[in-house]
Chains A and B, each alone.
Chain A
Amino acid sequence: MSPDNEKLLVVENLATTFSTAGGPLPAVGGVSFELMANETIGVVGESGSGKTVLTRTIMGLQQRTNVNVTGSVLLDGHQMVGASEQEKRAVWGTEVAMIFQDPMTSLNPVMRVGKQIDEALRVRLGMSRADAKVRAIELLELVGIPSPEHRYQSYPGQLSGGMRQRVVIAIALACSPKLLLADEPTTGLDVTIQAQILNLLDDLKERLHMSVILVTHDLGVVATRTSRIIVMYAGRIVEIGSTREVFSAHRMPYTRALLESSPKVTNDPHTRLVTIPGRPPNLLKLSDGCSFAPRCSFATDQCHKERPELQDADEPGHAFACWNPLPATRKRTVKTT
């Protein structure tokens, strides 16, 4: 258990580039951030903005070919970039664990769920069969599965989506990781179950003193459950700051566009949602300028020619990458027209 002020994860200048037939594809570029122990950070962005590649890179899960990772991922003292399979195996499970998007595909359909939890306990912690079973049932109980002794014997096909995601979480928690990467953990679930799973994650994070990286494209998900937010666009961080700051005093036009494009309870009925014009850029043909420039209504010549670096905003820890930021006001209310 680490004290709360300790840096658990330090990502520095991380870049993941795929070699494709069309040339190098920079899926993630120049990403730097830090994560404290027992902190939840949200990563938001459109589809294709590099969120999933970022989590997989932090995890050290790249294919062996066609990918080039540079920079540094220091996870509780372990360098994940360039680590061998053996070194990564030592970190996986006990230091970092991952929850996948779709609980329908992240459980082995022909293995009893109990065995799938056991597996981690026996391989990583060297528990005996009987001890592992006791612990697995405890874990099932921890993630809120009723009659866990009975469920231990179930196959994934006999469980609903929400139950499966609970099992997936139980597997991820088996070796008490310090960092949990949740890659859109609720995308495959319906809204009521989503809330249950997110509350469960929140609850477990507090009880087990974990840090969580919550990847999502749903701003509603991160709004109440994270302390900080990273906004990604075209593989880069375009804004980072405390959740309150990003929601109320964002400077980057893209963040505003994202916020405006989600529905709000306060909207009048039949309000049209604001959409961001254009499409996410083709990562193979990135310009030298800001990658959001072609879709941005504030874009100037400079935006098309030079890429803005992250610059600090007034509040410490809040930074944005923009040449023509929105004015720094307190309490910006998001308008939808």
Chain B
Amino acid sequence: MSNFSQMIAEEEIALVEKPEKSEPLGLLFWLCVGWIGLNIIGAIFANVLPLQNPQFQDYNALNVGPSLHHLFGTDDLGRDLFSRVVYGSRISLSVGAGSMLIGFGIGSPLGMLAAYRRGRFDTILTNLMYVFLAFPAIIATIAILSFWTPRSLIKIIVVIGVASIPLVYRVIRTATLNVATKDYIIAAKVQGATDRRILLRELLPNIAPIGISFLLIGVATVIALEGALAFLGLSVLPPTPSWGNMINESRTILQQNPWLAVFPSLAMCLFLLCLNFIGDRLRHHFDVTEVKL
């Protein structure tokens, strides 16, 4: 190597040098994290927290608006809306987390394997998934939940989770296919990397941003789906509250007491919004593929 080319090389590096410290995540990000954290703590410790019994009916206070005594007011049976929203998050969050755990736990390893291995395994599995995809998931979910009685939270999680597998599979498989044909995967292979290593160390980090984005959208969709099922009366049985079935119940007396719809909807919206914002921010923050000049 001549000194000259060394010099050019150094100059080149100076040009593309990126500041070592990346930009901070920002206040809004931490507010969102805080809100999600608060929701999760609320859901876990609902029965320890100083909340009113969500089932207790106070006939002296039916359909009252927000006050100091009842933060969000009460419903038509005199139940405290605030404590029902907090308790309701238990169902919504468990459905969101549980069914995505099933969907991603099964869908993503299958998708990665199929895209990496190709061949007959891929053909059979992909076509099978497409058959499931062709059948509307909501109809299948409704049909199964209608007949699989008595209903329970676990059954709802399992049905929604299984229904989400084909979708997760397709997204992850496509993302992996895109990466698996890149030269650096072949390069890793000809350096003697094993299949396991390629899947976990080379492919997984590359598809993780897509996976995480899709996971967060998935949690949001599933929480909304639980709401939809509750709307049809197919979610957990009353009087157990969930954000979805609270919105459903509010519909009959919407004109007398709109708060009944506003608070659970607001809780659901804020939660999903924060989740999406966090996902977006994280993806941007940890993206090392583009130089930030």
Q: A144 on the interface (CB 8 Å rule)? A: yes
Q: Mark A94-130, 1 if CB is under 8 A from B, else 0.
A: 0011101110011111110000100110011000000
Q: Is the CB of A64 within 8 A of B187?
A: no
Q: Is the CB of A105 within 8 A of B12?
A: no
Roughly how many angstroms separate A39 CA and B210 CA in the complex, as a whole number? 46
Q: A157 on the interface (CB 8 Å rule)? A: yes
List of A residues within 8 angstroms of B58 by Cβ = none
Q: B139 on the interface (CB 8 Å rule)? A: no
Q: B16 on the interface (CB 8 Å rule)? A: yes
Instruction: Answer whether A157 and B9 are a contact pair too, CB < 8 Å, given A105-B182, A105-B183, A106-B187.
Output: no
Instruction: Answer whether A100 and B192 are a contact pair too, CB < 8 Å, given A144-B9, A157-B290.
Output: no
Roughly how many angstroms separate A116 CA and B185 CA in the complex, as a whole number? 11
- Looking at the complex, which one of B1, B6, B119, B186 makes contact with A100 (CB distance below 8 Å)? B186
Q: Is the CB of A111 within 8 A of B205?
A: yes
- Looking at the complex, which one of A61, A64, A111, A162 makes contact with B12 (CB distance below 8 Å)? A162
Could you tell me how many residues of chain A have their Cβ less than 8 Å away from some Cβ of chain B? Answer: 47
Q: Which chain A residue shows the least CB distance to B195?
A: A85
Q: B201 on the interface (CB 8 Å rule)? A: yes
Q: Is the CB of B206 within 8 A of A196?
A: no
Q: A206 on the interface (CB 8 Å rule)? A: no
Q: B131 on the interface (CB 8 Å rule)? A: no
Q: Is the CB of A144 within 8 A of B288?
A: no
Q: Is the CB of B182 within 8 A of A162?
A: no
List of B residues within 8 angstroms of A96 by Cβ = 190
Q: B284 on the interface (CB 8 Å rule)? A: no
Give the number of A-B contacts (CB < 8 Å).
117
Q: A151 on the interface (CB 8 Å rule)? A: yes
Q: Which chain A residue shows the least CB distance to B291?
A: A157
A19 to chain B, nearest CB (A): 15
Q: A231 on the interface (CB 8 Å rule)? A: no
Instruction: Answer whether A163 and B13 are a contact pair too, CB < 8 Å, given A61-B190, A158-B291, A171-B187.
Output: yes
Q: B193 on the interface (CB 8 Å rule)? A: yes
Instruction: Answer whether A159 and B190 are a contact pair too, CB < 8 Å, given A108-B206, A109-B206, A144-B9.
Output: no
Q: Is the CB of B191 within 8 A of A92?
A: yes
Roughly how many angstroms separate A65 CA and B191 CA in the complex, as a whole number? 22
Q: B10 on the interface (CB 8 Å rule)? A: yes
Q: Which chain A residue shows the least CB distance to B206?
A: A110
Q: Which chain B residue shows the least CB distance to A144?
A: B1
Q: B127 on the interface (CB 8 Å rule)? A: no
Roughly how many angstroms separate A199 CA and B5 CA in the complex, as a whole number? 10
Q: Is the interface of B mostly helix, strand, loop or mixed?
A: helix
Q: A329 on the interface (CB 8 Å rule)? A: no
A58 to chain B, nearest CB (A): 12
Q: Is the CB of B289 within 8 A of A146?
A: no
Q: B48 on the interface (CB 8 Å rule)? A: no
Roughly how many angstroms separate A147 CA and B11 CA in the complex, as a whole number? 12
Q: Is the CB of B191 within 8 A of A120?
A: yes
A264 to chain B, nearest CB (A): 25
Q: Mark B154-190, 1 if CB is under 8 A from A, else 0.
A: 0000000000000000000000000000111011111
Q: Mark B1-35, 1 if CB is under 8 A from A, else 0.
A: 10001101110110111100000000000000000
- Looking at the complex, which one of B5, B15, B183 makes contact with A102 (CB distance below 8 Å)? B183
Q: Is the CB of B192 within 8 A of A124?
A: yes
Q: Is the CB of A159 within 8 A of B201?
A: no
Q: A153-202: which residues lie under 8 A (CB-CB) from chain B? A: 155, 157-160, 162-163, 166, 168, 171, 174-175, 192, 196, 199-200
Q: A188-231: which residues lie under 8 A (CB-CB) from chain B? A: 192, 196, 199-200, 203
List of A residues within 8 angstroms of B5 by Cβ = 144, 196, 199
Q: A70-97: which residues lie under 8 A (CB-CB) from chain B? A: 89, 92-93, 96-97
Roughly how many angstroms separate A158 CA and B98 CA in the complex, as a whole number? 39
- Other 16 A-B pairs with CB < 8 A, given A93-B191, A108-B205, A116-B188: A61-B186, A64-B119, A92-B190, A92-B191, A96-B190, A102-B183, A105-B183, A108-B184, A109-B288, A110-B206, A120-B192, A123-B197, A159-B13, A159-B16, A171-B187, A196-B8
B interface list, Cβ under 8 A from A: 1, 5-6, 8-10, 12-13, 15-18, 118-119, 182-184, 186-194, 197, 201-202, 205-206, 208, 288-291
The 3 closest A-B pairs by CB, nearest first: A120-B191, A106-B183, A109-B289
Can you list 11 A-B contacts with CB-CB less than 8 angstroms, sorted by A residue number?
A: A92-B189, A100-B186, A109-B184, A111-B202, A144-B1, A147-B13, A157-B289, A157-B290, A163-B12, A171-B187, A196-B5
